Structure 1
Amino acid sequence: MIEISEVTKTYGTGASAFRALDRVSVTIRQNEFFTLLGPSGCGKTTLLRVIAGFVDPTEGTVTLEDKDLLRLAPYERPVNTVFQSYALFPHMTVAENIGFGLEMQGKPSDEVRRTVSDMLDLVRMTPLADRRTSEISGGQQQRVALARALAPRPRVLLLDEPLSALDFKLRKEMQLELKRLQSETGITFIFVTHDQEEALTMSDRVAVMNAGSIRQIGSPQDIYDRPAERFVADFIGDTNFLPGELTGQDGERSTVRLASGIEIAARPVDGPRGPITLAVRPEHAELAGEGAGLLPGRLSEVVYIGTDTHFHVDLDDGTRFVVRRQNVPGEAVAQARGERVGVRFAPGVGQVLRD
């Protein structure tokens, strides 16, 4: 659907120049929910604005179905954008907001009415069609903004952190709603967020960005389970990092010697032996009694967060390690701060990351 090749965007000149995008290349597929994920200032919104036509790249090309998008003005592109602020007209009704863009395009009134009716059904807002947007909730306003953007049937819908203003529960509901809308319409969605849970929940594929470049592209499971580098492992979810050395590999597994001197099996990795970091997710480890685990240490914090309990362990080698355990109704947490414990995890759960 969209081919982005070697796109660079530089602001300023000389010593004060800032490169917001650094030779970004990515292919976005037809009917895909594709997410640009990364911290503030990583370039994800700039890339979205390049696609929309609001920012001209310094170098590179952007094509949509083999047509050069950079030669087209924003209003000529088969692309619509839903912004973080919904920019609805407060004096208009829900239906009038949805139909506004179609009227500006000169569509026949019958077609506008039919499309508005279809969009109201799609976003489940038909009962509120005649209410002004200043009189509805934030979540309902978000649905209206989506319906207005979808009404002209764009080939691509760009979404710039549209859920950030919603409360936690409503944001969770709208994550599923967005995925439903994308599936039902068959329109390619390109979604920008810094929220990893949003990216993992909704996306077919995720591009993790940092410092103006894409660090890894893959399915949510690939990104989470097989991060390509330390930044990705650290940004996506919680991760424990254990310094060590790659001492052997046989194609089916790698052998890692940790700083404590313990040798353990890890997932196979390409490349020479030498210093590495072993990444282990907190939910892939468990606590054991003193002397029973791979890694001995002392329990420094026990944090109850409802669904899980997080156990913070100060390992004897000076590394901090967190174990996450799902809570069972009626079962009290037996471990206490200051207790000597061991940490263990199954062979192969650790991801080897090159230093």
Structure 2
Amino acid sequence: MTISRATAAHGGTIGLHGIKKRFGSFQAVDDVTLDIRSNEFFTLLGPSGCGKTTLLRMIAGFELPTEGRVLLDGADISGLLPNQRPVNTVFQNYALFPHLSVAENIGFGLKMLGRPKSEVGAVVADMLKLVHLEGRGDHPVTQLSGGQQQRVALARALAPRPKVLLLDEPLSALDLKLRKSMQIELKRLQAETGITFVFVTHDQEEALTMSDRIAVMSEGQVRQVGTAREIYDRPADRFVADFIGETNFLTGTVERTEGRRATLRLATGATITAGLPDTATPSGAVTLVIRPEHADLVTAGAGTMDGTLGDIVYFGTDTHYHVHLDDGTDFIVRRQNSRAGSEGDAPETGHRIGVRFSDNAAQILKD
């Protein structure tokens, strides 16, 4: 089923202005300001305890801000109860009613809103098609798989056509293959319904796969907001670079800058060029970030720096080579595996090896 934009719900624009949340002396959220666009798939990403779920609960109304305002389409909803907000939430445990059928679970919210029985039936039928559970309406939810139960929870949350759907790590209980499948389904549902999705996760791959934009959080603060590509390729600071995917860090000294690039001397003695941060021009000693897939292994002496090859980790799609550089730094090189490759040509643990990367592979991090 495809819902046209003409009949789809209109997602709401969320404004979080100077949001702070304290629990006693603990500062869970510290002065967060965010604008989440209408019809956007927006993800709050960060480690456990960073404040992302608390922020989500303040949008839902389950928690009230200690300071700041929550806006929806320009109206201040900070003081409204959860049932007074055009917002629904899908929780990690789905919270389905085990004594009700699939259809009864989906229609429960509409029934509580006093909608006519004919409308409830029509919406439930539409939702069953939307989440690909046609013919399962009469089944007890206890007879469904974990992935099917998650779809019922989504359908129940979408049935009243909220302006905003909040999702609190809803995929964490699923196995890897099903989780990847549901990532695609969630993105499809958001695109078809036109509802603003705000998704909470600690899984970087989930965030990169589904999101229009991502807010990376740490210790109650937002460290960077941007598209998946912006955050991965141009991290704002060391925390973001280290949290998103695997990352190599090197130290160097800036010798000169020209435009948005700098020439540096590494601790190994090699001279390279690297990109500058978007909003700063550092000088002196700096930290550089290089993604493992942007480097390659070469013969010792023929690259940017040399070292000894340590662990070799096979991941199926690619192989990670851990190199102990001569200056004591550990560096990872990622090579994509190919059936055309010759296993006999692969480098071996303990051998001297060189690491090479192009000038545009390195970026200087902002202090």
Bucket of the pairwise TM-score, normalised by the shorter protein: over 0.9
2:133 to 121, 125, 139: 125
SS at match of 1:292: coil
SS at match of 1:34: strand
Structure 2: any 5+ residue segments left out of the alignment? 1-12
**1:272 and 1:350 mapped to 2: Cα distance?**
14
Match of 2:359 in 1: 347
Cα deviation, 1:124-176, whole Å, max 9, x if unaligned, reads 00121111000000000000000000000000000000000000000000000
Match of 1:241 in 2: 249
**Pairwise mapping of residues 232-311 of structure 1 onto structure 2 (< 5 A)?**
232-269=240-277, 270-311=280-321
Q: Amino acid of the residue matched to residue 358 of structure 2?
A: A
Count residues with an aligned counterpart. Answer: 351
SS at match of 1:162: coil
Match of 1:223 in 2: 231
Cα deviation, 1:68-113, whole Å, max 9, x if unaligned, reads 1112111000000000000101111111100011001100000000
Deviates more, 1:102-111 or 1:65-74: 65-74
Check conservation: 2:282, 2:366, Cα contact below 8 A: no
SS at match of 1:173: helix
Match of 1:168 in 2: 176
**2:329 and 2:43 mapped to 1: Cα distance?**
33
Residue 2 (str. 1) matches residue 14 (str. 2): yes
Residue 329 (str. 1) matches residue 303 (str. 2): no
Deviates more, 1:244-253 or 1:183-192: 244-253
Check conservation: 2:276, 2:365, Cα contact below 8 A: no
Q: How far off is 1:121 after superposition?
A: 0.4
**1:89 and 1:182 mapped to 2: Cα distance?**
24
Residue 11 (str. 1) matches residue 23 (str. 2): yes
Match of 1:102 in 2: 110
SS at match of 1:70: coil
Residue 61 (str. 1) matches residue 37 (str. 2): no
Check conservation: 2:165, 2:198, Cα contact below 8 A: yes
Deviating runs (4+, > 6 A) in structure 1? none
**2:208 and 2:182 mapped to 1: Cα distance?**
14
**2:108 and 2:260 mapped to 1: Cα distance?**
59
2:35 to 27, 36, 61: 27
SS at match of 1:317: coil
**1:272 and 1:200 mapped to 2: Cα distance?**
29
Check conservation: 1:245, 1:275, Cα contact below 8 A: yes
Check conservation: 1:93, 1:133, Cα contact below 8 A: yes
Q: How far off is 1:252 after superposition?
A: 4.3
**1:224 and 1:330 mapped to 2: Cα distance?**
29
Match of 1:111 in 2: 119
Q: Amino acid of the residue matched to residue 289 of structure 2?
A: A
CA-based RMSD: 0.9
Match of 1:318 in 2: 328
SS at match of 2:365: strand
Q: How far off is 1:245 after superposition?
A: 1.6
**1:334 and 1:150 mapped to 2: Cα distance?**
51
**1:130 and 1:146 mapped to 2: Cα distance?**
17
Match of 2:220 in 1: 212
Deviates more, 1:266-275 or 1:54-63: 266-275
Q: How far off is 1:35 after superposition?
A: 0.1
Q: Amino acid of the residue matched to residue 290 of structure 1?
A: A
Q: How far off is 1:255 after superposition?
A: 1.1
**2:86 and 2:366 mapped to 1: Cα distance?**
42
Q: Amino acid of the residue matched to residue 334 of structure 1?
A: A
Identity %: 62
Q: How far off is 1:299 after superposition?
A: 0.2
**2:366 and 2:192 mapped to 1: Cα distance?**
42
**2:255 and 2:216 mapped to 1: Cα distance?**
30
Check conservation: 1:253, 1:348, Cα contact below 8 A: no
Cα deviation, 1:288-329, whole Å, max 9, x if unaligned, reads 011111010010111111111110000001000000000011
Structure 1: any 5+ residue segments left out of the alignment? none
TM-score under structure 2 length normalisation: 0.94
**1:73 and 1:140 mapped to 2: Cα distance?**
30
Q: How far off is 1:257 after superposition?
A: 1.4
